[in-house]
Amino acid sequence: MERQGREARMTRRRSTSTRRKGARSVVLSRVIWIVWTVVTGSSIAGWIIPGMPLVGPLIQQVLGNKTVNEILSDERVNKVIDLAPDEAWQGKLGFLKKKLREHQAAVHATSGAGYQVPTVPGAQVPTYPGATSAARVAKSAQTIRIASYNIEVFGTTKMGKPWVVETLAQVVRHFDIVAIQEIRTQDDQLMPTFLAVVNADGSRYDYVIGPRVGRTISTEQYAFVYDTQRIEVDRSSVASMSDPADMLHREPLVARFRTRSSGAGLPFSFWLVNIHTDPDEVASEVDVLAGVFQVMQAARADEDDVILLGDLNANEHQLGLLGQLPGITWVVSGITTNTRKTKTYDNILFNRFATSEFTGRWGVVDVQSVFRLTMDQALEVSDHFPVWAEFHVYESAPMQHTAQLPGYFFQ
């Protein structure tokens, strides 16, 4: 009798537990579906077109510019996660987290706030230079954004297309520094002419440019374009790295920059190392870049921040010895950076312990979506998208190197 009673109680408990689990599963399904729909569905429009009636403001209000980490650390989202009744649901939530992270990358890719659409062929062509002068870009006083942009064959052809130049200028104005690869022209007036377009809206950008590098008569130049109101460069530091053993097709251009900030903190200073690898020798060149990175880390006793950025022709799994340096990390992961959206070529790397100024925000600018271009028009701008990362304007104390962490920020 006692045994039968115990079994009956256990059966009731199981039954109650099953009912509760069933009810929680239904609730959980709905909550996940709502979160997923809000975050990935209607919010795409909300993010891309903040002025869209109802949906845009609503999504902006709910999510603002939150990163995935912020969304996932949101108490409300964690409560949903706590509802998981069993491993199966935890698996589903894990999938949701993964999708959120992928979507965050897509959000970075499609965020177009602040951009204006230049006139493209087929409509009225603007008077050169910079007829569609965009409103000045509002930048945070607390952070800077550093970008890398391979502007495929940046030369006379592109400068002859005003809408392409205006598009490139608008991209530049959204960043404090842009490391440019693939300037291919013998015309030394290209960059001054381009800067005139960038500054046509009252901006005050300047640039430093490297020598023509390459092994054949087809050479390239690197450049850094920077906002002089927020950044200063140590011109004596600008140099093309020496490569006596000829290990790299295009020797990196290095320069040391510092933020201009009026606050009490120390301005954030850092080396930038601009690189475009040879697509036929990627494996050996990324190994050599590991040495380049270490050389730059030791270049000045008073500078611990080295940021290597450019067109590596390698994704996050193809970084060789560069990707194995102690503490090294990279921002672009799990998202393509070419205009055709088939490959990850471009990245920004630094030591996560030394460069703790990184805010965790990064992105790839989907030029095609932002400027509402056709694929062919987007390819006329470049076959690459710009990639960027955000840093605090003040120096932070280096983080304690306690463990070898994964090289991803969204893990």
Partner 1 sequence: MSDVTVLARQLQDKQASVRAQAAERLGRCGDAACVAVELVRACGDEEEVVREWAVAALEELGPPPASSLEPLCSLAAAAQELVAYWAVTLLGRAGPEAFAAAPALVSVLETSPHPAVRQRAAWALGRIRDQSAATIAALERVKSSGDPRLARLAAESLDNDRTASDFHSRTHACG
Residue 302 interacts with partner 1 (CB under 8 A)? no
Q: Which is nearer to partner 1, 214 or 267 (CB)?
A: 214
Taking CB under 8 A as the rule, does residue 186 contact partner 1? Answer: yes
By CB under 8 A, the count of residues binding partner 1 is 24
If binding is defined by CB under 8 A, does position 217 make contact with partner 1?
yes
Residues 166, 132 contacting (CB under 8 angstroms): yes
Nearest residue (CB) to partner 1, 35 versus 247: 247
Least Cβ distance, residue 151 to partner 1 (angstroms): 11
Residue 153 is a binding residue for partner 1 (CB under 8 A): yes
User: Based on CB atoms, which residue is closest to partner 1, 101 or 161?
Assistant: 161
CB of 216 to partner 1, least distance (A): 5
Cα–Cα distance for residue pair 202/184, rounded to 1 Å: 27
Looking at the Cβ atoms of 174 and 249, the one nearer to partner 1 is 249
Q: Which residues contact 248 (CB under 8 A, 6 or more apart)?
A: 241, 275, 277, 278, 285, 288, 289, 292
Instruction: Out of 143, 167, 185, 337, point to the residue binding partner 1 (CB under 8 A).
Output: 185
Is residue 380 part of the contact set for partner 1 (CB under 8 A)?
yes
Closest to 409 in 3D by CA, of 355, 370, 341, 367: 355
At residue 236, what is the residue type?
A: S
Q: Which of 51, 122, 244, 406 binds partner 1 (CB under 8 A)?
A: 244
Q: Based on CB atoms, which residue is closest to partner 1, 245 or 301? A: 245
| Among the listed residues 184, 230, 250, 256, the single contact to partner 1 using CB under 8 A | 184
Stretch that binds partner 1, among 57-65, 181-189, 199-207, 391-399 (CB under 8 A): 181-189
Q: Which listed residue (20, 136, 215, 401) binds partner 1 by CB under 8 A? A: 215
Site string for partner 1, 86-125 (x = CB under 8 A): ----------------------------------------
Under the binding rule (CB under 8 A), the answer on residue 241 touching partner 1 is no
Scan residues 309-368 and list those touching partner 1 (CB under 8 A). 340
- Kindly tell me which residue out of 54, 135, 138, 245 binds partner 1, with binding defined by CB under 8 A: 245
Q: How far is the CB of 169 from partner 1 (least distance, A)?
A: 21
* Amino acid of residue 114: G
384 binds partner 1, rule: CB under 8 A: no
Bridge-based pairing of strands 269-276 and 306-311 is parallel
Contacts of 126 (CB under 8 A, 6+ apart): 118, 119, 132, 162, 163, 166
Task: In angstroms, give the least distance from the CB of 40 to partner 1.
Answer: 29
Here's the x/- map for partner 1, 272-301, by CB under 8 A: it reads as: -------xxx--------------------
| Binds partner 1 (CB under 8 A): choice among 379, 398, 399, 405 | 379
Q: Which is nearer to partner 1, 184 or 392 (CB)?
A: 184
Asked whether position 188 contacts partner 1 by CB under 8 A, the answer is no
Two structure tokens written together for 88: 């199966």
Binding site for partner 1 (CB under 8 A): 152-153, 155-157, 184-186, 215-218, 244-247, 279-281, 340, 376, 379-380, 383
